[in-house]
Protein backbone atom coordinates (compact mmCIF):
# COMPACT_ATOMS: atom_id res chain seq x y z
CA UNK A 1 0.00 0.00 0.00
CA UNK A 2 1.24 3.50 -0.83
CA UNK A 3 0.54 5.98 1.96
CA UNK A 4 1.18 9.72 1.85
CA UNK A 5 1.40 11.99 4.89
CA UNK A 6 1.18 15.78 5.08
CA UNK A 7 3.04 17.39 7.98
CA UNK A 8 5.10 20.55 8.27
CA UNK A 9 8.03 19.30 10.37
CA UNK A 10 8.73 15.67 9.49
CA UNK A 11 12.21 14.40 10.24
CA UNK A 12 14.42 12.42 12.55
CA UNK A 13 15.38 13.60 16.06
CA UNK A 14 12.90 16.48 16.00
CA UNK A 15 12.25 17.43 19.61
CA UNK A 16 8.45 17.41 19.54
CA UNK A 17 5.71 14.95 20.40
CA UNK A 18 3.83 14.88 17.09
CA UNK A 19 7.11 14.76 15.17
CA UNK A 20 8.23 11.74 17.18
CA UNK A 21 4.84 10.06 16.83
CA UNK A 22 4.75 10.40 13.04
CA UNK A 23 8.33 9.24 12.66
CA UNK A 24 7.60 6.13 14.76
CA UNK A 25 4.43 5.40 12.79
CA UNK A 26 6.24 5.63 9.45
CA UNK A 27 8.97 3.35 10.81
CA UNK A 28 6.33 0.79 11.73
CA UNK A 29 4.63 1.07 8.35
CA UNK A 30 7.92 0.59 6.52
CA UNK A 31 8.77 -2.42 8.68
CA UNK A 32 5.54 -4.15 7.64
CA UNK A 33 6.18 -3.51 3.96
CA UNK A 34 4.36 -0.33 2.89
CA UNK A 35 5.63 2.47 0.65
CA UNK A 36 5.57 5.88 2.32
CA UNK A 37 5.72 9.47 1.14
CA UNK A 38 5.68 12.73 3.11
CA UNK A 39 4.88 16.25 1.92
CA UNK A 40 6.80 18.55 4.27
CA UNK A 41 9.01 21.62 4.73
CA UNK A 42 12.79 21.86 4.70
CA UNK A 43 12.97 22.52 8.45
CA UNK A 44 14.44 19.09 9.19
CA UNK A 45 14.41 17.21 5.92
CA UNK A 46 15.99 17.27 2.48
CA UNK A 47 14.83 15.61 -0.70
CA UNK A 48 17.96 13.45 -0.75
CA UNK A 49 17.62 12.13 2.83
CA UNK A 50 17.86 8.35 2.50
CA UNK A 51 17.82 7.53 6.22
CA UNK A 52 14.17 8.35 6.76
CA UNK A 53 11.53 5.62 6.40
CA UNK A 54 9.55 7.74 3.90
CA UNK A 55 10.38 9.36 0.59
CA UNK A 56 10.10 13.12 0.84
CA UNK A 57 8.69 15.96 -1.20
CA UNK A 58 10.08 19.14 0.32
CA UNK A 59 8.14 22.22 -0.73
CA UNK A 60 10.25 25.37 -1.02
CA UNK A 61 7.09 27.41 -0.35
CA UNK A 62 6.67 26.11 3.20
CA UNK A 63 8.28 27.92 6.16
CA UNK A 64 11.32 26.45 7.89
CA UNK A 65 11.01 28.52 11.07
CA UNK A 66 8.99 31.28 12.69
CA UNK A 67 8.95 33.26 15.92
CA UNK A 68 6.87 30.84 17.97
CA UNK A 69 3.46 32.42 17.32
CA UNK A 70 0.97 30.19 15.56
CA UNK A 71 -0.69 33.25 14.00
CA UNK A 72 2.54 33.88 12.06
CA UNK A 73 2.51 30.31 10.77
CA UNK A 74 -1.13 30.49 9.72
CA UNK A 75 -0.59 33.82 7.97
CA UNK A 76 2.43 32.44 6.10
CA UNK A 77 0.52 29.37 4.91
CA UNK A 78 -2.46 31.45 3.82
CA UNK A 79 -0.31 33.99 1.98
CA UNK A 80 1.53 31.24 0.11
CA UNK A 81 -1.45 28.94 -0.36
CA UNK A 82 -1.51 29.00 -4.17
CA UNK A 83 2.09 27.83 -4.52
CA UNK A 84 1.82 25.33 -1.66
CA UNK A 85 -1.33 23.76 -3.14
CA UNK A 86 0.31 23.54 -6.55
CA UNK A 87 3.30 21.81 -4.97
CA UNK A 88 0.97 19.35 -3.28
CA UNK A 89 -0.72 18.55 -6.60
CA UNK A 90 2.71 17.77 -8.06
CA UNK A 91 3.43 15.62 -5.04
CA UNK A 92 0.25 13.59 -5.62
CA UNK A 93 1.06 13.06 -9.29
CA UNK A 94 4.56 11.93 -8.44
CA UNK A 95 3.71 9.36 -5.76
CA UNK A 96 0.12 8.31 -6.69
CA UNK A 97 -0.80 7.22 -3.15
CA UNK A 98 -3.62 4.89 -2.19
CA UNK A 99 -4.40 7.10 0.80
CA UNK A 100 -3.39 10.52 2.15
CA UNK A 101 -3.27 11.30 5.86
CA UNK A 102 -3.14 14.93 7.00
CA UNK A 103 -1.46 15.24 10.41
CA UNK A 104 -3.27 18.02 12.33
CA UNK A 105 -5.45 20.84 10.92
CA UNK A 106 -2.64 23.41 11.31
CA UNK A 107 0.60 21.45 10.99
CA UNK A 108 -1.06 19.35 8.30
CA UNK A 109 -1.00 22.46 6.07
CA UNK A 110 -3.88 21.73 3.68
CA UNK A 111 -6.82 22.84 5.89
CA UNK A 112 -5.07 26.20 6.27
CA UNK A 113 -4.25 26.68 2.59
CA UNK A 114 -7.80 25.94 1.47
CA UNK A 115 -6.77 22.99 -0.65
CA UNK A 116 -9.54 21.58 -2.87
CA UNK A 117 -10.02 17.91 -2.05
CA UNK A 118 -11.33 16.91 -5.45
CA UNK A 119 -9.21 13.81 -6.10
CA UNK A 120 -10.32 10.20 -6.19
CA UNK A 121 -7.64 9.34 -3.63
CA UNK A 122 -9.19 9.21 -0.13
CA UNK A 123 -8.01 11.60 2.60
CA UNK A 124 -7.95 11.14 6.38
CA UNK A 125 -6.97 13.57 9.12
CA UNK A 126 -5.18 12.72 12.36
CA UNK A 127 -5.71 14.87 15.48
CA UNK A 128 -2.99 15.06 18.14
CA UNK A 129 -4.06 18.23 19.98
CA UNK A 130 -7.37 20.07 20.36
CA UNK A 131 -6.22 23.38 18.79
CA UNK A 132 -8.69 25.21 21.03
CA UNK A 133 -6.75 28.49 21.16
CA UNK A 134 -8.46 31.58 19.67
CA UNK A 135 -5.94 31.71 16.80
CA UNK A 136 -6.61 28.12 15.72
CA UNK A 137 -10.30 27.61 16.44
CA UNK A 138 -11.49 28.75 13.01
CA UNK A 139 -9.28 26.26 11.18
CA UNK A 140 -10.14 23.51 13.63
CA UNK A 141 -13.84 24.07 12.96
CA UNK A 142 -13.18 24.06 9.22
CA UNK A 143 -11.53 20.64 9.51
CA UNK A 144 -14.85 19.08 10.53
CA UNK A 145 -16.46 20.21 7.27
CA UNK A 146 -13.75 18.94 4.93
CA UNK A 147 -14.30 15.64 3.07
CA UNK A 148 -12.04 13.42 5.16
CA UNK A 149 -13.15 9.82 4.96
CA UNK A 150 -11.55 8.96 8.27
CA UNK A 151 -10.80 11.07 11.36
CA UNK A 152 -8.18 9.69 13.74
CA UNK A 153 -7.41 10.73 17.31
CA UNK A 154 -4.50 9.68 19.54
CA UNK A 155 -6.72 9.04 22.57
CA UNK A 156 -10.24 8.92 23.94
CA UNK A 157 -9.22 11.84 26.15
CA UNK A 158 -8.49 13.99 23.09
CA UNK A 159 -11.66 12.89 21.31
CA UNK A 160 -13.69 13.92 24.35
CA UNK A 161 -11.91 17.25 24.62
CA UNK A 162 -12.58 18.04 20.96
CA UNK A 163 -16.23 17.07 21.28
CA UNK A 164 -16.63 19.27 24.35
CA UNK A 165 -14.80 22.26 22.90
CA UNK A 166 -16.26 22.12 19.38
CA UNK A 167 -20.02 21.50 19.01
CA UNK A 168 -19.35 21.44 15.26
CA UNK A 169 -17.80 17.98 15.76
CA UNK A 170 -20.95 16.41 17.23
CA UNK A 171 -21.54 14.27 14.13
CA UNK A 172 -17.88 13.33 13.76
CA UNK A 173 -16.66 9.83 14.60
CA UNK A 174 -13.08 9.56 15.83
CA UNK A 175 -11.11 6.34 15.47
CA UNK A 176 -8.39 5.94 18.08
CA UNK A 177 -4.88 5.51 16.72
CA UNK A 178 -2.44 5.82 19.64
CA UNK A 179 1.19 6.86 19.47
CA UNK A 180 3.81 4.12 19.43
CA UNK A 181 7.45 3.32 20.11
CA UNK A 182 10.03 0.84 18.87
CA UNK A 183 9.71 -1.48 21.86
CA UNK A 184 12.88 -3.42 20.99
CA UNK A 185 14.94 -0.34 21.88
CA UNK A 186 13.63 -0.43 25.45
CA UNK A 187 14.86 -3.93 26.22
CA UNK A 188 18.34 -2.78 27.24
CA UNK A 189 19.63 -3.62 30.72
CA UNK A 190 20.41 -0.89 33.23
CA UNK A 191 24.04 0.08 32.59
CA UNK A 192 24.89 2.64 35.27
CA UNK A 193 25.20 2.81 39.03
CA UNK A 194 24.05 6.45 38.97
CA UNK A 195 20.69 7.04 40.61
CA UNK A 196 18.53 9.69 38.97
CA UNK A 197 14.99 10.82 38.33
CA UNK A 198 14.36 11.45 34.66
CA UNK A 199 11.80 13.86 33.21
CA UNK A 200 11.68 13.07 29.49
CA UNK A 201 9.45 15.90 28.29
CA UNK A 202 10.21 19.38 27.01
CA UNK A 203 10.47 22.47 29.19
CA UNK A 204 7.36 24.27 28.01
CA UNK A 205 4.17 25.83 29.27
CA UNK A 206 1.95 23.16 30.83
CA UNK A 207 4.78 20.68 31.43
CA UNK A 208 5.13 22.05 35.01
CA UNK A 209 8.81 21.26 35.39
CA UNK A 210 8.99 23.77 38.25
CA UNK A 211 6.66 21.49 40.26
CA UNK A 212 9.15 18.65 39.85
CA UNK A 213 12.07 20.87 40.89
CA UNK A 214 10.18 21.91 44.04
CA UNK A 215 9.46 18.26 44.83
CA UNK A 216 13.08 17.32 44.23
CA UNK A 217 14.19 20.03 46.65
CA UNK A 218 12.05 18.34 49.31
CA UNK A 219 13.83 14.99 48.92
CA UNK A 220 17.33 15.89 47.71
CA UNK A 221 18.77 15.98 51.22
CA UNK A 222 17.33 12.58 52.10
CA UNK A 223 18.22 10.56 49.02
CA UNK A 224 21.43 10.26 47.04
CA UNK A 225 20.16 10.88 43.55
CA UNK A 226 20.08 13.46 40.76
CA UNK A 227 17.35 14.97 38.61
CA UNK A 228 17.80 14.99 34.83
CA UNK A 229 15.52 17.20 32.74
CA UNK A 230 15.31 17.55 28.95
CA UNK A 231 15.81 21.10 27.69
CA UNK A 232 16.05 20.66 23.94
CA UNK A 233 14.88 23.40 21.59
CA UNK A 234 12.28 23.41 18.82
CA UNK A 235 12.48 26.01 16.03
CA UNK A 236 8.71 26.19 15.57
CA UNK A 237 8.19 27.31 19.16
CA UNK A 238 10.57 29.56 21.04
CA UNK A 239 11.05 28.07 24.50
CA UNK A 240 14.30 29.86 25.40
CA UNK A 241 12.46 32.02 27.92
CA UNK A 242 10.98 28.96 29.69
CA UNK A 243 14.41 27.32 29.82
CA UNK A 244 16.01 30.43 31.31
CA UNK A 245 13.20 30.66 33.85
CA UNK A 246 13.70 27.08 34.96
CA UNK A 247 17.45 27.66 35.28
CA UNK A 248 16.78 30.60 37.59
CA UNK A 249 14.22 28.56 39.49
CA UNK A 250 16.68 25.69 40.01
CA UNK A 251 19.25 28.18 41.30
CA UNK A 252 16.69 29.73 43.63
CA UNK A 253 15.87 26.29 45.03
CA UNK A 254 19.56 25.70 45.76
CA UNK A 255 19.75 22.38 43.87
CA UNK A 256 22.02 23.36 40.94
CA UNK A 257 24.58 20.67 41.73
CA UNK A 258 21.98 17.90 41.68
CA UNK A 259 19.93 18.96 38.63
CA UNK A 260 21.18 18.42 35.08
CA UNK A 261 19.51 20.14 32.13
CA UNK A 262 20.13 17.83 29.21
CA UNK A 263 20.52 19.17 25.67
CA UNK A 264 18.22 17.96 22.91
CA UNK A 265 18.58 14.18 22.90
CA UNK A 266 18.65 12.03 19.79
CA UNK A 267 15.70 9.66 19.91
CA UNK A 268 18.05 6.69 19.93
CA UNK A 269 19.49 7.99 23.21
CA UNK A 270 16.14 8.22 25.00
CA UNK A 271 15.53 4.48 25.61
CA UNK A 272 18.81 4.13 27.53
CA UNK A 273 18.08 7.27 29.56
CA UNK A 274 14.64 5.89 30.46
CA UNK A 275 15.87 2.36 31.19
CA UNK A 276 18.79 3.57 33.32
CA UNK A 277 16.61 5.94 35.36
CA UNK A 278 15.75 5.03 38.94
CA UNK A 279 12.31 6.38 38.16
CA UNK A 280 10.58 8.67 35.67
CA UNK A 281 8.55 11.62 36.97
CA UNK A 282 6.16 13.60 34.75
CA UNK A 283 4.46 16.63 36.35
CA UNK A 284 2.61 17.73 33.20
CA UNK A 285 -1.11 18.40 33.61
CA UNK A 286 -1.98 18.39 29.92
CA UNK A 287 -1.10 15.46 27.69
CA UNK A 288 -3.42 14.35 24.91
CA UNK A 289 -1.49 11.08 24.76
CA UNK A 290 1.62 10.96 26.98
CA UNK A 291 4.46 9.50 24.92
CA UNK A 292 6.99 10.09 27.71
CA UNK A 293 4.86 8.00 30.07
CA UNK A 294 4.55 5.26 27.45
CA UNK A 295 8.34 5.13 27.11
CA UNK A 296 8.74 4.49 30.84
CA UNK A 297 5.92 1.93 30.84
CA UNK A 298 7.46 0.00 27.95
CA UNK A 299 10.91 0.11 29.57
CA UNK A 300 9.58 -1.17 32.88
CA UNK A 301 10.87 1.87 34.77
CA UNK A 302 8.91 2.99 37.85
CA UNK A 303 6.74 5.96 36.92
CA UNK A 304 5.19 8.83 38.90
CA UNK A 305 2.77 11.09 37.01
CA UNK A 306 0.18 13.78 37.62
CA UNK A 307 -3.37 12.47 38.01
CA UNK A 308 -4.49 14.41 34.95
CA UNK A 309 -5.27 14.33 31.24
CA UNK A 310 -4.59 11.10 29.34
CA UNK A 311 -2.15 9.81 31.93
CA UNK A 312 -5.23 8.61 33.81
CA UNK A 313 -6.18 6.38 30.89
CA UNK A 314 -2.78 5.40 29.50
CA UNK A 315 -0.83 4.25 32.57
CA UNK A 316 -3.48 3.84 35.26
CA UNK A 317 -2.48 0.21 35.82
CA UNK A 318 1.26 0.81 36.21
CA UNK A 319 2.07 4.33 37.49
CA UNK A 320 1.85 6.02 40.86
CA UNK A 321 -0.25 9.19 40.66
CA UNK A 322 0.12 12.46 42.55
CA UNK A 323 -2.21 15.42 42.97
CA UNK A 324 -1.62 17.81 40.03
CA UNK A 325 0.41 20.96 40.80
CA UNK A 326 1.17 19.72 44.31
CA UNK A 327 4.96 19.42 44.78
CA UNK A 328 4.64 18.09 48.33
CA UNK A 329 2.44 15.23 47.14
CA UNK A 330 4.81 14.57 44.25
CA UNK A 331 7.72 14.43 46.72
CA UNK A 332 5.75 11.99 48.91
CA UNK A 333 4.98 9.70 45.96
CA UNK A 334 8.60 9.73 44.78
CA UNK A 335 9.71 8.75 48.29
CA UNK A 336 7.15 5.92 48.31
CA UNK A 337 8.76 4.51 45.17
CA UNK A 338 12.32 5.02 46.41
CA UNK A 339 11.58 3.41 49.79
CA UNK A 340 10.03 0.38 48.07
CA UNK A 341 12.10 0.39 44.91
CA UNK A 342 12.46 -3.36 44.37
CA UNK A 343 8.70 -3.83 44.58
CA UNK A 344 7.95 -1.00 42.17
CA UNK A 345 10.62 -2.19 39.72
CA UNK A 346 9.13 -5.67 39.72
CA UNK A 347 5.63 -4.33 39.14
CA UNK A 348 6.77 -2.00 36.34
CA UNK A 349 8.58 -4.83 34.55
CA UNK A 350 5.55 -7.10 34.85
CA UNK A 351 3.29 -4.47 33.29
CA UNK A 352 5.77 -3.61 30.51
CA UNK A 353 4.82 -6.67 28.45
CA UNK A 354 1.24 -5.39 28.10
CA UNK A 355 2.46 -2.03 26.81
CA UNK A 356 4.87 -3.67 24.37
CA UNK A 357 2.09 -5.77 22.87
CA UNK A 358 -0.26 -2.79 22.41
CA UNK A 359 2.00 0.12 21.47
CA UNK A 360 4.83 -1.22 19.33
CA UNK A 361 5.36 0.67 16.06
CA UNK A 362 4.42 -2.32 13.93
CA UNK A 363 1.30 -3.12 16.00
CA UNK A 364 -0.07 0.41 15.65
CA UNK A 365 0.90 0.52 11.96
CA UNK A 366 -1.06 -2.69 11.33
CA UNK A 367 -4.02 -1.14 13.13
CA UNK A 368 -3.93 1.89 10.84
CA UNK A 369 -3.63 -0.14 7.66
CA UNK A 370 -6.48 -2.43 8.69
CA UNK A 371 -8.74 0.58 9.14
CA UNK A 372 -7.75 2.17 5.82
CA UNK A 373 -8.19 -1.06 3.89
CA UNK A 374 -11.68 -1.35 5.36
CA UNK A 375 -12.44 2.14 4.09
CA UNK A 376 -11.21 1.33 0.59
CA UNK A 377 -13.35 -1.78 0.31
CA UNK A 378 -16.64 -0.12 1.27
Q: What angle do CA 329, 287, 364 make, to 5 degrees?
A: 125
Going along the chain from its start, the domains and CATH numbers come out as 2-180+360-376 (3.40.50.2000), 183-359 (3.40.50.2000)
Looking at residues 110-123, what average pLDDT do you find?
93
pLDDT > 60? residue 235: no
- pLDDT computed for residue 49 by the predictor: 82
Which strands make up the sheet holding 226-230, listed edge to edge?
259-262, 226-230, 196-199, 279-282, 303-306, 320-322
In tens, the pLDDT along 305-339 reads 999 999 999 999 999 999 999 999 999 999 999 99
Residue 257 is given by DSSP the state G
Residue closest to 314 by CA, chosen among 346, 355, 364: 355
- pLDDT computed for residue 224 by the predictor: 87
Looking at residues 285-301, what average pLDDT do you find?
96
The distance from CA 358 to its chain's CA centroid, rounded to whole angstroms, is 17
pLDDT > 60? residue 242: yes
- pLDDT computed for residue 221 by the predictor: 80
Q: Give the pLDDT band of residue 378 (cuts 50, 70, 90).
A: very low
pLDDT > 90? residue 372: yes
**In this predicted structure, which of 196-205, 229-238, 360-369 has the lowest mean pLDDT?**
229-238
- Of all residues in the chain, the percent with pLDDT exceeding 90 is 79
Looking at residues 337-359, what average pLDDT do you find?
96
Looking at residues 109-123, what average pLDDT do you find?
93
pLDDT > 50? residue 179: yes
- Please give, one letter per residue, the 3-state secondary structure of 137-204: HHHHHHHCCCCCCEEEECCHHHHHHHHHHCHHHCCCCEEECCCCECHHHHCCCCCCCCCEEEECCCCC
Amino acid sequence: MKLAFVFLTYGRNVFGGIENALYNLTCGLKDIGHNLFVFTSGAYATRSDKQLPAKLYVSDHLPTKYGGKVTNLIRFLENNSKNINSDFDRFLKACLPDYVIVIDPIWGILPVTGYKFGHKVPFAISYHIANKWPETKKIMKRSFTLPFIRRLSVSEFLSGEISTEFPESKNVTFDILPNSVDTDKYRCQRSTSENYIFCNSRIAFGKNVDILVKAFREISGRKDLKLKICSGSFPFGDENEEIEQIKRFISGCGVEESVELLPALNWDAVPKMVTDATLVALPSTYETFGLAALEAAVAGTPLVVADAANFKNLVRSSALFFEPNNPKDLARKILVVLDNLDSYKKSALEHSALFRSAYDNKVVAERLVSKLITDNTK
